[in-house]
Structure 1
Amino acid sequence: MAGVQGADLAVAVCEAGGLGALPCAMLGVEAMRDELASIRSRTSRPLNVNFFCHTPPEPDAGRQARWHRALAPYYAEFGLDIASVPAGAGRRPFDHQACDLLEAVRPEVVSFHFGLPAPELLERVKAWGATVLSSATTVEEARWLEAHGVDAIIAQGLEAGGHRGIFLSDDLTTQVGTFALLPQVVAAVEVPVIAAGGIGDARGVAAALALGAAAVQVGTAFLCCPEATTSRIHRQALMSEAARHTALTNLYSGRPARGIVTRLMRELGPLSDVAPAFPLATAAIAPLRAAAEAQGSGDFSPLWAGQNASGCREVPAAEVIAELAGYDEGRRGQAEEEVFCQGRQK
């Protein structure tokens, strides 16, 4: 969950019996090294390290100009100069530099979003014995991932918060719900399948396992934990009635992602061909976000959330893990002997 978590949440989940994850898409090499060192110093349990695998787009001056024109009224509203917006991607794909760092740390699990990295990079990851995961949003993507060597597939349903893992197509009509996608993927591949999207309590976990999932991946339910770095504005939205209305939007990054509906999404339309290609939309949004948040508003903030935010509470991550596993307080310690979220084996 890039942007809303770091080492603290990863460690808390690991120590509670789950497979904690460190999102690296927005981390430079030094920041990644520091976070990994912090995690390794505080837990000896298996860790998942997550990366994006997008291809950086070619700059398009015309599209960038149209994007700036669309945002110009908002810049004027806050007294900002849109001409001063710096260029910048904001998110980096998995590359040799990141792989060099990981090779020294050897995380037990490495997961990818938007497909897989180049074959030579994937071979390096697998060479140190890491378990490789990646997200599929369709049966076709699941089959492609299996054919290209993943050890397990994350079936990401339409309910999931954050960026869609879609990578073989741009057609959003191919996207289906978790409990429609899951059994189809399970039937189509031989590797274990992990269910993701809309799962926020023990009943959801049980339903996913009953449909053939080897494990579940949970994100939104952890966003209000004290170990998360989720902003105050984002937390308030997650625990309000606003969280019932989410939509896919490309306005914040250039790629479809699910979040709570904001003023920007309502006024420009959640999906717009004016937004630059991923991840170039981010640079021009950042000043608006900062200005609005300084006034206590999330109108221009990417309030990522899945369709089921009912589990969002300000409780420690260990309590969320126990609840997802169906443990009562008396059995909570037994979570140490189980592996939840991404780690349960078939």
Structure 2
Amino acid sequence: MSSALTDLFPYPIVQAPMAGGVSVPALAAAVSEAGGLGFLAGGYKTADGMYQEIKQLRSLTSRPFGVNLFLPQPEYADQGAVEIYTHQLAGEAAWYETELGDPDSGRDDGYDAKLAVLLDNPVPVVSFHFGVPSRDVVDSLHRLGTFVLVTATTAEEALAVERSGADVVIAQGVEAGGHQGTHRDTPENDGAGIGLLSLVAQVRETVAIPIVAAGGIMRGGQIAAVLAAGASAAQLGTAFLATAESGANAVHKQALTNPLFTRTELTRAFSGRPARGLVNRFMREHGPYAPAAYPQLHHITAPLRKKAAASGDAQGMALWAGQGHRMARDLPAAQLVEVLAAELDAARTALSGQGDLR
């Protein structure tokens, strides 16, 4: 990682920007104060809502932090398939006594307005998901002194990130919880994800820019492994989801280590885009039939997910989680950063000792 960006946070630990109310200012502030890089999620918020959270975060810490944006999505969903899926969810709407959401509630997540906020009120770091920002956008952020990070799930996508002028590529392995950051989401991509260590190695041989590794990382030893593979830092989401400062629903936090939820899968059931979560009833019943239609399905299922969460029904919620979810620790965020840093040091010491023996 460039020395200037490294100087922003002492430990190579980045808290993933988890949308849906998880990555709140209190969490980002705690991580940044402890020596990692805290992140706010701009996704699913209004531009003003994002601005207010930035103001709140700045009142909690003077340390650097980041803000994440979703790229607008192109029109390629099969509208007939969306209508069929909507009819299939009629029983869910009746069960939860709510109406289904409007699939045409918006495709761009207020991207232009949110970008305008970040250009008028610069933050240290901005990351992008679901595509690559234009060179003009990257240059505009650079002129303000903002570092730009972009997610990639393949070496080819990483090359597109480098060509955009971005400072860092976030290599997201298939183990990651939540939405895969593929640049173009089509059904033929389903099941084609790459494991994190293999992805980091491929990206390292493809681009010259620094890499942040993301996907299933829960321990300091895993951070050491991705650093050894060529990454400059690690991004952790599920590990921070369980912390006290996380804005995740209590049912979601408890489900991470609940023996009832034994595995995760990638599913389109809740949003129309591949996202990894704990396998529950909703995913089993609807995942096989969900079309590639983001964000239409996200809007359609939003009222269902809200009612399920309000009633404490984990079987109807989108329980986003990475493959390492059973290793989640119920710790304050700052303490988790300290524990991860200590584990990283121990792993590095052990690796160094093995080198001496050889």
TM-score by length of 2: 0.84
Contact 1:91–1:279 (Cα < 8 Å) also in 2: yes
Structure 2 equivalent of residue 123 of structure 1? 139
Measured on the aligned residues, the alpha-carbon RMSD in Å equals 2.2
TM-superposed deviation, 1:280: 1.1
CA distance in structure 1 between the partners assigned to 2:49 and 2:42 by the alignment: 9
2:127 counterpart of 1:111: yes
CA distance in structure 1 between the partners assigned to 2:157 and 2:260 by the alignment: 32
Structure 1 runs not aligned, ≥5 long:
332-346
Count of residue pairs brought into register by the alignment: 325
2:25 counterpart of 1:2: no
Structure 2 equivalent of residue 337 of structure 1? none
CA distance in structure 2 between the partners assigned to 1:25 and 1:31 by the alignment: 10
TM-superposed deviation, 1:93: 4.2
Percent same amino acid among aligned pairs?
40
2:233 counterpart of 1:215: yes
Which residue among 169, 173, 178 is the counterpart of 1:153?
169
Q: Given the superposition, is the C-alpha separation of residues 103 and 297 from structure 1 closer, same or farther in structure 2, using an over 3 Å criterion?
A: same
TM-superposed deviation, 1:262: 1.3
Q: Given the superposition, is the C-alpha separation of residues 31 and 81 from structure 1 closer, same or farther in structure 2, using an over 3 Å criterion?
A: closer
TM-superposed deviation, 1:150: 1.3
Q: Deviations over 1:60-106 (max 9, x none)?
A: 65333212211112223344455xx4445477446332222112321
Contact 2:217–2:223 (Cα < 8 Å) also in 1: yes
TM-score by length of 1: 0.87
CA distance in structure 2 between the partners assigned to 1:125 and 1:197 by the alignment: 27
Structure 2 runs not aligned, ≥5 long:
1-17, 346-358
Which residue among 25, 29, 32 is the counterpart of 2:50?
32
TM-superposed deviation, 1:173: 4.0
2:65 counterpart of 1:65: no
CA distance in structure 1 between the partners assigned to 2:35 and 2:175 by the alignment: 25
TM-superposed deviation, 1:320: 1.0
Structure 2 equivalent of residue 267 of structure 1? 285
Contact 2:185–2:292 (Cα < 8 Å) also in 1: no
Contact 2:70–2:111 (Cα < 8 Å) also in 1: no
Letter in 2 for 1:228: S
Q: Deviations over 1:253-308 (max 9, x none)?
A: 1110000011011112x353x44611111232123223333432122211000000
2:45 counterpart of 1:18: no
CA distance in structure 2 between the partners assigned to 1:250 and 1:259 by the alignment: 10
Q: Deviations over 1:94-151 (max 9, x none)?
A: 6332222112321111101112223332221122121111111111111111112111
CA distance in structure 2 between the partners assigned to 1:184 and 1:29 by the alignment: 36
Q: Given the superposition, is the C-alpha separation of residues 55 and 240 from structure 1 closer, same or farther in structure 2, using an over 3 Å criterion?
A: same
SS of alignment partner, residue 123 of structure 2: coil
CA distance in structure 2 between the partners assigned to 1:81 and 1:48 by the alignment: 35
CA distance in structure 2 between the partners assigned to 1:185 and 1:296 by the alignment: 41
TM-superposed deviation, 1:24: 0.1
CA distance in structure 1 between the partners assigned to 2:102 and 2:343 by the alignment: 49
Matched ranges for 1:137-286 at <5 A: 137-168=153-184, 170=186, 171-268=189-286, 270-272=287-289, 274-275=290-291, 277-286=293-302
TM-superposed deviation, 1:2: 0.6
Q: Given the superposition, is the C-alpha separation of residues 76 and 245 from structure 1 closer, same or farther in structure 2, using an over 3 Å criterion?
A: same
Contact 2:261–2:280 (Cα < 8 Å) also in 1: no
